[in-house]
Chains A and B, each alone.
Chain A
Amino acid sequence: MTVRISDDAVAIACGADEVAAAFIAAGVAVERVSSWGMQWLEPLVDIDGVGYGPVSVDQVADIINGKVPSLGRIADHPFIATQTRLTFARAGKTRPLSLDDYYASQGWLGLAKAREMGAEATIDTVITSGLRGRGGAGFPAGIKWQTVARADGAQKYIVCNADEGDSATFADRMVMEGDPFMLIEGMAIAGFAVGANKGYVYIRSEYPHAIAKMEAAIKLSAHLVAPFVVEVRVGAGAYVCGEETSLLNSLEGKRGEVRAKPPLPALEGLFGKPTAVNNVLTLAALPWILTHGGDAYAAFGAGRSRGTMPIQIAGNVKHGGLYEVAFGITLGELVNDIGGGTASGRPVRCVQVGGPLGAYLPPAQFHLPLDYEAFAAADALVGHAGITVFDDTVDMAKMARFAMEFCAIESCGKCTPCRLGSTRGVETIDQIIAGKNVEANLALIADLSETMKFGSLCALGGFTPYPVMSAIKHFPEDFR
């Protein structure tokens, strides 16, 4: 009997350590593995492929004696069986820090392939794959690397943006906690492709488990990625450092203020050197792409959004977790069919896609396919593909106010529309909530939003209008 229990942060927060200890106390060996991503079932106990969950300590003896009904084979669970897991192929199956497990599951093949075909062909493969930046901007990854590769300079850097601060996103965390070697391999491939010998992973301080796993994995695999060297740097609680230029300032030991672009980081990035800044999921997609080929990856997806996207279904949802699937799936399928509607059992009122800077969308928009262009056309963002589900008790005026408040708290202060606009926005929405000059204040918010959208240096001020204006547009009754 092999008992597997995840040791990722969600599992631990739900009591996985106590459950694992109870199995061990009962004389049963436990393997701590990555999470399957079915978070409503955590702690999920996997016994020879059959699942039990959510498991509490007092059920352990009965599970061992076969007295607890199982969930059936985990791999056949509809939430898992309907996914296309390329990046999360190992999820639930391997021990995060086991090099043996990683080797046994096609680990390091992508890096070997890259080294064999050479830097230029590696970049060509990524261009063929159609891989776009998974952090939210959706810029073609291969083109970015081409720019870094062609830039002058002996010293170049790979910077992995693991400052996953958006609410409803946890795919980066799951990669780092569940499959850290994959990220290291991806960084090594990127470093080889652009000619960088040093890579930094900038991880937010709110992710202590991810930091520990990455540091351990870097030590264990240093000889395999050499001469490429990877180092972890820990953020310090500033949301704006997820923006690539403020992240670079933070790495340099400065205030995490946004830099004006140009110059592009690809040409003048970390310490003024050519730097490829990529999200965790972008880099983590590389081992698969190199192993299986660019065409194989591009065969998945829709329109100009190629490949798969690890979607995070969160908030007030019955079946929340990590759902990796090809682009093109509709919002309604994700929320209702896969997510199973709300956890509270009440009707879904809206979802927010793309984190605190993403639009609120009502069920009338659930036909939208997950695709960068389709979302942009509907004044919405795919972003990092986090979906927060809300039931009908949500007050959208309060959520619009929170969007402005969050921007005010997290603004780096460099540009005026974001620094001042956010605070004025909170005050103006407060007036609206209090019923004062509602129409005039709504017009003021629309005007302010325009200013923030077009006048801010980065996406924090520039995209805060998305949640605010979408809330007003789709849920006007909450503001009047």
Chain B
Amino acid sequence: MASIADILAVHKDREGPLLPILHDVQKAFGHVSEDAMREIAGALNLTRAEVYGVVSFYHDFRKEAEARPVLKLCRAEACKARGVEALVPIADNQSRVKVEAVYCLGLCAVGPSAMVGDTVYARLDDAKFKMILEAM
């Protein structure tokens, strides 16, 4: 697994390297820890507060790792029009998978839709949604 120092070395000569660094750290470690923020701040000559501010601003970065598998369920207007809200109780009635809201996956004519990692699902109904959750 790459270390923070490895990730910093890859990006240090880029313009505006902070987001690419945070994406790589998030991907490698599942979160951006307090220690990681300290190391990144030192390398980029930023204050810890600046790095913390960026980490906390963006929905993609987590300060603590999520132990459960994550499914992103689109709750935006087009998926609402296609009935996503009826699937929410299924998500609420289980706790093994963390179901997060996402606002639009760009699959707006074939919703309700969801994403697990980079895998996308469309035309969800109760049965299909349950099957995906159970397979995770």
Contacts and interface: CB of A to CB of B under 8 A. Distances in A.
A314 B22 contact: no
A121 to B, nearest CB: 31
A172 B85 CA distance: 26
Contacts of A207: 106
Interface in B14-54: 15-20, 22-23, 44, 50, 53-54
Interface stretch (A161-169, A217-225, A445-453): A161-169
A356 B106 contact: no
B108 interface: yes
A386 B106 contact: no
Interface residues of B, number: 42
B81 interface: yes
Nearest to B75: A402
Interface in A402-436: 402, 406, 409-410, 412
Contacts of B105: 9, 206
A257 B56 CA distance: 13
Select the residue from A209, A235, A315, A343 with max chain B CB neighbours within 10 A: A315
B122 interface: yes
A80 interface: no
B18 to A, nearest CB: 3
Contacts of A313: 109
Interface in A41-96: 42
Interface in A239-297: 239, 250-257, 271
Interface residues on A, range: 35 or more
Interface string B105-134: 111111101010010111100000000000
Interface in A20-57: 39-40, 42
Given A206-B105, A256-B58, A406-B103, A167 B16 contact: no
Contacts, number: 150
B108 A236 contact: no
A325 to B, nearest CB: 16
B88 interface: no
B109 A13 contact: no
A206 B82 contact: no
B106 A206 contact: yes
Contact of A238 (B58, B102, B122): B58
Contacts of A208: 118
A206 B59 CA distance: 11
A406 B105 CA distance: 15
Nearest to A271: B15
Select the residue from B50, B72, B110, B118 with max chain A CB neighbours within 10 A: B110
A168 B60 contact: no
B86 to A, nearest CB: 11
Contacts of B18: 253-254
A interface: dominant SS: mixed
B98 to A, nearest CB: 15
A206 B16 contact: no
A253 B57 CA distance: 11
A314 B103 contact: no
A233 interface: yes
B42 to A, nearest CB: 15
A12 B106 CA distance: 13
Nearest to B117: A208
A109 interface: no
Contact of B77 (A173, A233, A399): A399
Contacts of A252: 15-16
Contact of A167 (B58, B104, B121): B104
Contacts of A271: 15-16
A308 interface: no
B77 A39 contact: no
A344 to B, nearest CB: 8
Contacts of A251: 16, 19
A257 B54 CA distance: 10
Given A165-B103, A167-B103, A251-B16, A388 B59 contact: no
Interface stretch (A98-106, A135-143, A316-324, A365-373): A316-324
Interface of B: 15-20, 22-23, 44, 50, 53-54, 57-61, 72, 76-82, 102-111, 113, 115, 118, 120-123
Interface of A: 9-10, 12-14, 39-40, 42, 164-170, 173, 205-209, 233-239, 250-257, 271, 312-317, 320-321, 343, 352, 355-356, 386, 388-391, 394, 399, 402, 406, 409-410, 412
6 contacts: A170-B107, A205-B23, A236-B58, A238-B59, A256-B57, A321-B109
